[in-house]
């Protein structure tokens, strides 16, 4: 595959942009790929190589790239000339539509990114409880700020006992005292969580958790597990926050909380909420959300770009089409088909690998058993995964070489694209036989 222009662009841009990328997760060896066009399920790079995209903006682009009907509806809503810094009827319409989906929440406030939404949720939780510290799940990614970027894809040699994980910085540059103050729990282990909460609950304002861990592939929490966490948080007066930035609108119309009927105190949404435009949401119980209202006794919730009109137009247009096109039903059906056919093919070839997912999200684990938590996932065969995804890339499938990440299809991945993906995955599996 010819990547001459990408190589040249990298040599130029790295003088002005560290590493040549604005998000480090986009860096690839020996250099990033630079793109110029996206339509439907496909993207084209500056060297005119075409790829079947199965990353789709980390799952954000749920309708597909450059969807014509989406674009038309969105542009129609922007004719009034208002861009940012003002409240409009569009913000009311979008909030009402959002809450008609996320029926477990009473109120919502919009912001711009997942990290911002999580920061706002933590501030609300601290204000409501009067407590300061946060609990996170080992291996999960809930944003890049100090209090939650803890034990994010940690080195298992340093992680400590599985039932009481160490608090490790997820990046250089984090404040050491903040990292140490964050409590880490194992996923899918209620007994260990109760022991940890019993020891630390007096200082814990919130627990933030992906109800399905997707930033390490696809590891679901059961309804019973999530209900158990809710009960523990109620017992110890800890705000339960569901990070539904990835599960929202893909696990169900209103997120995993609606599908399982387990209502958290607060939740964060993003990614697919606006089909790839920068927008996120904090939603939850009115009593708790009220702590973000203007006035005495409240915390700050400000931002010039909060409720940005372009993103609101994108979100409302997306939610309308999501319902009209039965997007979730289509994605569930296509994902189930891909998983069954891939797993059957792997079994025939006697390769220890499984594909897991739902609602368009999926990932491959090169292991004999389905992972139950981060440590299980980290034990899967990294070398086999990388050989497999390298073979996929050689066949024009744009995927991640990181064995602890995730993939996604969109509504634009129709029969022809699914057949291409199935054929490419089968060929990639043959390289491992």
Asked whether residue 14 is domain-assigned, the answer is no
For residues 51 and 110, state if they share a domain.
no
For residues 284 and 202, state if they share a domain.
yes
Quick one: which of 56, 229, 213, 72 has its CA closest to 140?
213
Among the candidates 288, 306, 323, a domain finishes at 323
Asked whether residue 40 is domain-assigned, the answer is yes
Among the candidates 265, 292, 323, a domain finishes at 323
Total domains, the chain: 2
For residues 317 and 425, state if they share a domain.
no
Asked whether residue 409 is domain-assigned, the answer is yes
Kindly indicate the confidence band of residue 364, based on its pLDDT and cuts at 50, 70 and 90. Answer: very high
Asked whether residue 3 is domain-assigned, the answer is no
Among the candidates 304, 323, 342, a domain finishes at 323
For residues 163 and 288, state if they share a domain.
yes
Other CB atoms within 10 Å distance of the CB of residue 12: 10
CA dihedral 357, 362, 365, 366 (to 10 degrees): 120
Q: Quick one: pLDDT at residue 328?
A: 97
In the chain, the percentage of residues whose pLDDT exceeds 90 is: 99
For residues 141 and 203, state if they share a domain.
yes
Range of the domain at 132: 68-323
Asked whether residue 379 is domain-assigned, the answer is yes
For residues 252 and 336, state if they share a domain.
no
Q: pLDDT tens digits for 121-137? A: 999 999 999 999 999 99
For residues 344 and 196, state if they share a domain.
no
- Are the C-beta atoms of 105 and 326 separated by less than 8 Å? no
pLDDT value at 284 more than 90 = yes
For residues 374 and 345, state if they share a domain.
yes
Asked whether residue 157 is domain-assigned, the answer is yes
Q: Quick one: pLDDT at residue 334?
A: 98
d(CA 140, CA 118): 13
Asked whether residue 26 is domain-assigned, the answer is no
Average of per-residue pLDDT across 15-35: 94
- Are the C-beta atoms of 343 and 331 separated by less than 8 Å? no
Asked whether residue 17 is domain-assigned, the answer is no
For residues 339 and 400, state if they share a domain.
yes
For residues 139 and 218, state if they share a domain.
yes
What CATH number did the domain enclosing 84 receive? Answer: 3.40.640.10
For residues 272 and 340, state if they share a domain.
no
Q: Quick one: pLDDT at residue 61?
A: 98
For residues 373 and 225, state if they share a domain.
no
Q: Quick one: pLDDT at residue 1?
A: 84
Q: pLDDT tens digits for 378-427? A: 999 999 999 999 999 999 999 999 999 999 999 999 999 999 999 999 99
Q: pLDDT tens digits for 194-205? A: 999 999 999 999
Q: Quick one: pLDDT at residue 129?
A: 98
Alpha helix (H) residue ranges in 167-307: 176-181, 190-200, 223-235, 256-260, 286-289
- Chain centroid, CA 195 distance in Å: 28
Note the pTM of the prediction, 2 decimals.
0.96
Q: Quick one: pLDDT at residue 21?
A: 95
């Amino acid at each position: 595959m010819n990547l001459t222009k990408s190589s040249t662009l990298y040599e130029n841009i790295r003088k002005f942009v560290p590493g040549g990328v604005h998000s480090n997760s986009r860096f690839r060896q020996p250099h990033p790929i630079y793109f110029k066009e996206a339509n439907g399920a496909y993207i084209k790079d500056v060297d005119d190589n075409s790829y079947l995209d199965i990353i789709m903006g980390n799952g954000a682009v749920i309708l597909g790239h450059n969807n014509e009907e989406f674009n038309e509806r969105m542009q129609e809503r922007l004719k009034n000339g208002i861009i940012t810094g003002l409240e409009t009827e569009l913000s009311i319409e979008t909030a009402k539509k959002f809450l008609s989906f996320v029926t477990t929440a009473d109120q919502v406030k919009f912001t711009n990114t997942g990290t911002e939404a999580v920061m706002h949720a933590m501030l609300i939780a601290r204000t409501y409880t009067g407590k300061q510290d946060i609990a996170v799940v080992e291996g999960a990614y809930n944003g890049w700020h100090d209090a939650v970027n803890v034990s994010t894809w940690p080195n298992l040699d340093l992680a400590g006992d599985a039932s009481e994980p160490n608090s490790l910085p997820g990046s250089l540059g984090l404040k050491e005292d903040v990292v140490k103050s964050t409590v880490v729990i194992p996923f899918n282990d209620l007994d260990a969580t109760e022991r940890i909460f019993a020891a630390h609950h007096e200082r814990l304002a919130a627990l933030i958790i992906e109800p399905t861990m997707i930033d390490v592939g696809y590891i679901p929490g059961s309804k019973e597990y999530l209900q158990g966490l809710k009960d523990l948080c109620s017992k110890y007066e800890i705000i339960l926050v569901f990070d539904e930035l990835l599960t929202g609108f893909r696990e169900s119309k209103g997120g995993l909380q609606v599908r399982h009927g387990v209502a958290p105190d607060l939740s964060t949404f993003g990614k697919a909420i606006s089909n790839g435009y920068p927008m996120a949401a904090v939603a939850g119980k009115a009593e708790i959300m009220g702590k973000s209202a203007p006035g005495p006794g409240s915390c700050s919730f400000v931002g010039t770009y909060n409720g940005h009109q372009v993103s609101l137009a994108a979100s409302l247009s997306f939610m309308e089409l999501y319902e009209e096109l039965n997007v979730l039903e289509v994605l569930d059906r296509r994902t189930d088909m891909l998983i069954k056919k891939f797993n059957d093919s792997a079994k025939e070839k006697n390769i220890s690998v499984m594909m897991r997912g739902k609602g368009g999200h999926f990932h491959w684990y090169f292991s004999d058993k389905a992972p139950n938590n981060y440590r299980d996932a980290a034990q899967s065969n990294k070398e086999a995964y990388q050989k497999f995804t390298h073979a996929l890339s050689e066949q024009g499938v744009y995927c991640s070489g990181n064995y602890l990440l995730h993939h996604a299809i969109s509504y634009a991945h129709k029969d022809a694209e699914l057949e291409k993906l199935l054929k490419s995955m089968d060929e990639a599996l043959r390289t491992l036989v």
